[in-house]
Amino acid sequence: MPIGMVAVLSLIPFIGVTYAGLDYLFGVIIPYASALIFIAGFVYRLFDWLKRPVPFRITTTCGQEKSLDWIKQDKFGSPSRAWQAALRVLSEVFFFRSLFRNTKSELREGPSLVHGSNKWLWMGGLVFHWSLLLIGLRHARYFFIMVPDFIQFVEGADRFFDLTLPAFYLTDALVLSAVTFLFVRRMIDAKMRIISLQTDYFPLFLITGIVLVGIIMRYIVKVDVMPVKDQMLRLVAFSFEAPAPIGALFYVHLFLVCVLAVYFPFSKLMHMGAIFLSPTRNLCNNSREKRHINPWNAAIKFRTYPEYEDEYREKMKKAKLPVEKQ
Amino acid sequence: MSKYLPKLSDLKKDFEDKPSILKGDYSKKEWWDTPFEFRDGNWSFPAKPEVVEELGFPNSRKWSALDDDWKLPADWQKTISEGLKVRLKKYRSLKLYLDSCVRCGACADKCHFFLGTGDPRNMPVVRAELLRSVYRNDFPLVEKILQGFSGSRKLTSEVIKEWHMYYYQCTECRRCSVFCPLGIDTAEITMVARELLNLIGVNNNWILAPVANCNRTGNHLGIEPHTFVQNIESLVEDIEDMTGVTVNPTFNRKGAEILFITPSGDVFGDPGVYTMMGYLLLFHHIGLDYTISTYASEGGNFGMFTSNDMMKKLNAKMYHEAERLKVKWILGGECGHMWRVVHQYMNTMNGPADFLQVPVSPITGTKFTNAAATKMVHIAEFTADLIYHKKLKLDPRRNDHLKTTFHDSCNVARGMGMFEEPRFILDNVCNSFHEMPENTIREQTFCCGSGSGINSEENMEMRMRGGFPRANAVKHVKDKHKVDSLVTICAIDRASLPALMKYWNPGVTVYGLHELVGNALVMEGEKKRTEDLREHPMTGFDDEEGDVD
């Protein structure tokens, strides 16, 4: 079903631009609307999480806590200072540190369980996300009249393998391989198949669609990039001028990106924001050293010592236990 | 043999006939379409009506999970969805973890219950989806329009049954959370799900009965003050018989420097009592000024497996008693979930403990700055510090009759991060310590399979399945290094691992860390020792060879 959805979504702008001349709708109105939804939705979701309290310091400790002076603390597995926790979160964001631990368990004869290191998911995930980031960065050249040096550097590095004309981008190949891997593992591993929902496939197909159309535009159809850049510059300048003719394929690419942007805040893709907020990772493991405050800490009536002694006083006296009241 | 315990050969066959970890064929099915079944050995009896009433919990009644009709209260659906809404407001973790899972599957084969049952609902991701699917149906915006698309479903009584089964096949051990790239902690979800189930009277006697006991008598086992004292005094006599040394614990004594709190299993249960003897010998050895309370006579906290409020209520006694007795700080015994509560919750819930002082070891002068606010120190931290400063006279050869391995308790490992202290102690009190394979220890340790209040007799099949990954790692060192002693720092481990070892690894005995400390301590004025605290002969200390310092 998700693949069909992406196909239909691709046809909409194609038909709209080719047969109905809706360039303005797909080139101006939808991009603005989707950018608005993306930003507002993303901020709303973040705010919706942030407004909820973190009542306890529930760090998942993945290494030695800070304790006696002569025992070596694992500063990132069990951070005790804010900068250590911050680095722990960043190591998750940039290097998927927890996923790097991944193991695969197998049942052998005996029965015997064997747990081996398994880094495929870590590698596939890392390649996928980093490729997307770099692809996003090099697209920045469409948004600046003078392309910043940093973006030029990224683009230059990505073109390192100068195999085709126009120059081949390494990230295009990487992202396609990674997305294929992420899809195939959901299909062939019975465990993955059973946990996967339609919402897990949809963004994979959507991204594949965006990348494929982009590749077709660059290497096969060779869309003229100048009107594209003009239109993008107009958009970032908040201009509502009508775009010059660009070609339906570009609008397919752009429309799928808009769909992704709209879908983003309402889906699991929000893990992009969530990873920064995860209390098991971003809190210090120092709750015995420094009191953590729970804003809703409810008053609880517990059974006090006097109540206890009232019930057991005679028995306690017989057992020669000291009592408060005789 | 218990009728709840499957024959070892049957269980082995079950593993070998279907050698993949996931059992069954799910090619055409979604997980929510697959059947599940309550049967002898895979669930714990519901709380008795009188227990439920004593706690003031709702819907006390006689019922069984095997019944078709669970006699849920009339407005149970409303109670659950309101209850969920309230908790989503209180816990960012819950909302975040329901919203952000990408189902990458890294957690799938990390759960001991999944490895032991092959049941897809025991993959942590699906365990969370049990609740998530209902949450999606009731709450968020756009996905409501796309029901089939996002895997949402209605809250039915079948869902409640499923929750009851699978949220009690999770021991809140947090192993999955170590591997999750987003740090999603299934324990947070299980804890909330159990709170919700308690709101409609779907409960577990093995949890609620100890909770009621603990509230009334001060400890899970329901030991009244005079019996509590008698029992420790009988341990004192045993120590005297074995070592010739008379130790003098005091009870409810005001003005002692330190209040010592340990799980009541150490006072009453075998083999916990030997660990207790170890503590008593240690404290006598260093001349510690301490007292034990009959009111705060429980280190553990089954409230944690019930609800946040109940955890707070039971835990409140520790500070309350420390304040009344005017001690300087609190020392805590070996226990897993007790230390999750003390380390991550106590001071937040029941602090600040301004009436106590920052803990300082009276023997070494070490200031435990890592416990500066909570003012409670783990016995392993305390003892490691003593050994490091050479304040203990130890003869590790007295444990030469044991070949040991160490089991990291899940809560101490992943909810506290204490790995080195117990290993340092073990290295100093015995000569034969072998680690289990690396993916089964430290933060990757496997649960005993019986934690979080599912250690009931009638749940035996699940316990043996859930404990299989741990048992299998022990078997590895048993075969390779002839290990025969499994050392733990957890009272639930001491209660549950003996059954697990008897089933999977006969010949392996379970010990508390401080029992081995007790064996190795060379006490002043002791008589010649030839036996350990269990009256088992020690190697190399028979009559003519005896070389007691």
Indicate the length of chain A as a whole number. 326
CB contact under 8 A, B419 and A200: no
Judge whether residue A287 has pLDDT over 90.
yes
Of the partner residues B15, B89, B104, the one whose CB lies closest to the CB of residue A111: B15
Strand A103-108 versus strand A112-117 pairing type: antiparallel
CB contact under 8 A, A104 and B373: no
Judge whether residue B22 has pLDDT over 60.
yes
pTM: 0.94
Q: What span, in angstroms and rounded, lies between the C-alpha atoms of B376 and B262? A: 12
Q: What span, in angstroms and rounded, lies between the C-alpha atoms of A248 and B433? A: 71
Q: What span, in angstroms and rounded, lies between the C-alpha atoms of B383 and B187? A: 30
**% residues pLDDT > 70 (chain A):** 100
DSSP code, position B336: S
What's the average model confidence in pLDDT over B295-321? 97
pLDDT digits (tens, 9 = 90+) for A221-243: 888 888 889 889 999 888 888 88
CB contact under 8 A, A102 and B148: no
What is the secondary structure of B21-61 as a DSSP string? SS-S--TT--GGGS-----TTSS-PPPPHHHHHHHT-S---
What's the average model confidence in pLDDT over A39-48? 96
What is the secondary structure of A18-70 as a DSSP string? HHH--HHIIIIIHHHHHHHHHHHHHHHHHHHHHTS---S------SPPS-STT
Residues in B touching A315 (Cβ below 8 Å):
224-226
Judge whether residue B549 has pLDDT over 60.
no
Judge whether residue B142 has pLDDT over 70.
no
The pLDDT of residue B546 is 46
Bridge partners (DSSP) listed for residue B406: B487
Judge whether residue A146 has pLDDT over 90.
no
CB contact under 8 A, A287 and B109: no
A313 contact B CB<8A: no
Scanning B289-409, the segments in alpha helix (DSSP H) are 308-325, 337-341, 347-350, 379-388
The pLDDT of residue A122 is 97
Q: Which of A140-144, B19-23, B322-326 comes out lowest in average pLDDT?
A: B19-23
Residue B32: closest C-alpha in chain A: A194
A325 contact B CB<8A: no
Domains and CATH numbers, chain A: 2-318 (1.20.950.20)
Residues 220-279 of chain A whose Cβ lies under 8 A from any Cβ of chain B: 266-268, 270-271, 274-275, 277-279
Mean pLDDT across chain B, nearest whole number?
94
* Adjacency order of strands within the sheet including B485-488: B404-406, B485-488, B509-512
Contact assessment for residue A171 and residue A158, using Cβ atoms and an 8 Å cutoff: yes
The pLDDT of residue B139 is 59
Judge whether residue B106 has pLDDT over 60.
yes
CB contact under 8 A, A195 and B351: no
Judge whether residue B353 has pLDDT over 60.
yes
Q: Is the dihedral of CA B526, B528, B529, B535 positive or negative?
A: negative
Q: Which amino acid is at B534?
A: R
**% residues pLDDT > 90 (chain A):** 70
Of the partner residues A48, A99, A115, the one whose CB lies closest to the CB of residue B439: A115
CB contact under 8 A, A71 and B421: yes
Contact assessment for residue A261 and residue A46, using Cβ atoms and an 8 Å cutoff: no
Residues in B touching A45 (Cβ below 8 Å):
99
Residues in A touching B16 (Cβ below 8 Å):
109, 111
The residue written with tokens 């393998």 in the block is A161
- Interhelix angle B92-99/A30-50, rounded to 10 degrees, is 140
Of the partner residues A67, A102, A274, the one whose CB lies closest to the CB of residue B96: A274
Strand B485-488 versus strand B404-406 pairing type: parallel
- Residue B524 burial (CB < 10 Å; 0-12/13-18/19+)? exposed
pLDDT digits (tens, 9 = 90+) for B471-490: 999 999 999 999 999 999 99
Q: What span, in angstroms and rounded, lies between the C-alpha atoms of B542 and B531? A: 9
Judge whether residue B240 has pLDDT over 70.
yes
**% residues pLDDT > 90 (chain B):** 88
Scanning chain A, the segments in alpha helix (DSSP H) are 2-20, 23-24, 30-50, 82-95, 97-100, 120-138, 149-158, 170-188, 190-195, 198-215, 225-236, 248-263, 271-277, 279-282, 305-318
Residues in B touching A296 (Cβ below 8 Å):
90
Judge whether residue A22 has pLDDT over 90.
no
CB contact under 8 A, B388 and A68: yes
Q: Which of A1, A45, A58 to mutate to test the interface with B (most CBs of B within 10 A)?
A: A58
CB contact under 8 A, A278 and B252: no
Judge whether residue B21 has pLDDT over 90.
no
A-B C-beta contacts closer than 8 Å = 335
What is the secondary structure of B207-249 as a DSSP string? HHHHHHHHHHHSSTT---HHHHHHHHHHHHHHHHHHHS-----
Q: Locate the domains of chain B by residue range.
A: 8-203, 211-520
CB contact under 8 A, B95 and A296: no
CB contact under 8 A, B183 and A280: yes
Burial B409-418 (b: 16+ CB within 10 A, else e): bbbbbbbbbb
Taking each continuous run of H as one helix and of E as one strand, the counts in chain B are 24, 7
